[in-house]
């Protein structure tokens, strides 16, 4: 590896240094834009006691759900979970700690963490179970709660395209939490569908600058669809 070239050649190398009890921030929404091969590598490594920060926790046999059977996750910080049976079982049995966090607060926690902002006030969650134990303050007649930001030992990210310096471009709604996760990892690992030479990406079109990226790997992706919904014809209807 030389200069700003972030490309690594194996998934083992990509996730090197991940140890038990670390915090991992993952991009993705549902199964869309998830770093599926980096998750598979964590499963292969067998790392345990992980705290995972991700909007969701995958399904039984795909996404972060694959880390459940071997009890690799100690705690998950997420906004919406329970799309899989093993998750439900572990949560109900008290084997898995779940910290439910409003989706916008979760995104902002990552953004703030990556930007060196330790905490922020938000109206979201005021007067609800989310506010328990948190500082409250009134600004201009409105009530807010103090939410602390999040950083991770690792961030795992899926982008569409990158150059060798780790400048990233995302595709459609597979962007979601990925650019935020990318900023908030001490070590940010990104897997992509295509790596181009430096200079090939238009600087005006880069979503995440390479400064946030430590390791970059080329992958192939299943891109499983959670809710395949189609319309029959050109009939103008949402059902």
Partner 1 sequence: MALSREQIAQRVAQELHDGYYVNLGIGIPTLVANYVPTDIEVMLQSENGLLGMGQFPTEDEIDADLINAGKQTVTMAKGASIFDSAESFAMIRGGHVDLTVLGAFEVDVNGNIASYMIPGKLIKGMGGAMDLVAGADNIIVTMTHASKHGVSKLLSNCSLPLTGKGCIKKVLTDLAFIEIKDGKFYLLERAPGVSIEEIVKLTDGELVVHDNVPEMQF
Beta bridge mates, 158: 191
Closest CA to 188 of 161, 163, 222, 159: 159
Interacting residues with partner 1 between 94 and 153 (CB under 8 A) = 100, 102-108, 110-111, 122-130, 143
Interacting residues with partner 1 between 186 and 205 (CB under 8 A) = none
CA distance 109 to 211: 20
Q: Is the CB of residue 161 less than 8 Å from the CB of residue 192? A: yes
Residue 89 is a binding residue for partner 1 (CB under 8 A): no
Q: How far is the CB of 12 from partner 1 (least distance, A)?
A: 27
Q: How far is the CB of 9 from partner 1 (least distance, A)?
A: 25
How many chain residues interact with partner 1 (CB under 8 A)?
A: 62
- Among 5, 13, 153, 226, the residue binding partner 1 under the rule CB under 8 A is 226
Nearer to partner 1, 65 or 125 (CB): 125
Give CA separation, 58 vs 46, 166, 176, in Å: 18, 26, 15
CA distance 176 to 174: 6
Q: How far is the CB of 143 from partner 1 (least distance, A)?
A: 8
Per the structure block, which two tokens stand in for 208?
A: 């995440």
Residue span 64-83 as binding mask against partner 1, x where in contact by CB under 8 A, dash where not: --------------xxxxxx
Q: Is the CB of residue 134 less than 8 Å from the CB of residue 147? A: yes
- Among 137, 173, 199, 200, the residue binding partner 1 under the rule CB under 8 A is 173
Nearer to partner 1, 18 or 59 (CB): 59
Phi, psi dihedral angles at 203 (to 5 degrees): -55, -30
126 by Cβ neighbours in 10 Å (0-12 / 13-18 / 19+) ranks as middle
- Among 174, 189, 192, 213, the residue binding partner 1 under the rule CB under 8 A is 174
CA distance 90 to 70: 11
Nearer to partner 1, 176 or 214 (CB): 176
Closest CA to 184 of 110, 78, 103: 110
Q: How far is the CB of 39 from partner 1 (least distance, A)?
A: 16
Contacts of 94 (CB under 8 A, 6+ apart): none
Q: How far is the CB of 184 from partner 1 (least distance, A)?
A: 11
Contact positions toward partner 1, by CB under 8 A?
29-33, 55, 78-83, 88, 92, 100, 102-108, 110-111, 122-130, 143, 160, 170-180, 207, 223-231, 233-234, 236-239
């Amino acid at each position: 590896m030389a200069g700003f070239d972030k490309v690594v050649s194996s998934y083992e190398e990509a996730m090197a240094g991940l140890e038990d009890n670390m915090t991992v921030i993952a991009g993705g929404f549902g199964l869309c834009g998830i770093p599926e091969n980096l998750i598979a590598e964590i499963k292969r490594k067998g790392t345990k006691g992980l705290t995972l920060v991700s909007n969701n926790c995958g399904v039984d046999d795909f996404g972060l759900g694959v880390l459940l059977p071997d009890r690799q996750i100690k705690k998950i910080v997420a906004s919406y979970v329970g799309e899989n049976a093993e998750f439900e079982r572990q949560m109900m049995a008290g084997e898995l700690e779940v910290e439910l966090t409003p989706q916008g607060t979760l995104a902002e926690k990552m953004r703030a963490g990556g930007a060196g902002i330790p905490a922020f006030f938000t109206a979201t969650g005021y007067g609800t179970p989310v506010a328990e134990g948190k500082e409250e303050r009134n600004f201009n007649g409105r009530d807010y709660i103090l939410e602390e930001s999040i950083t991770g030992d690792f961030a795992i990210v899926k982008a569409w395209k990158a150059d060798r310096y780790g400048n990233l471009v995302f595709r459609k709604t597979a962007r979601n939490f990925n650019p935020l996760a990318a900023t908030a990892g001490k070590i940010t690992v990104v897997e992509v569908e295509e790596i181009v030479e430096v200079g090939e990406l238009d600087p005006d079109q880069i979503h995440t600058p390479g400064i946030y990226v430590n390791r970059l790997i080329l992958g192939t992706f299943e891109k499983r669809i959670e809710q395949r919904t189609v319309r029959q014809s050109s009939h103008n209807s949402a059902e």
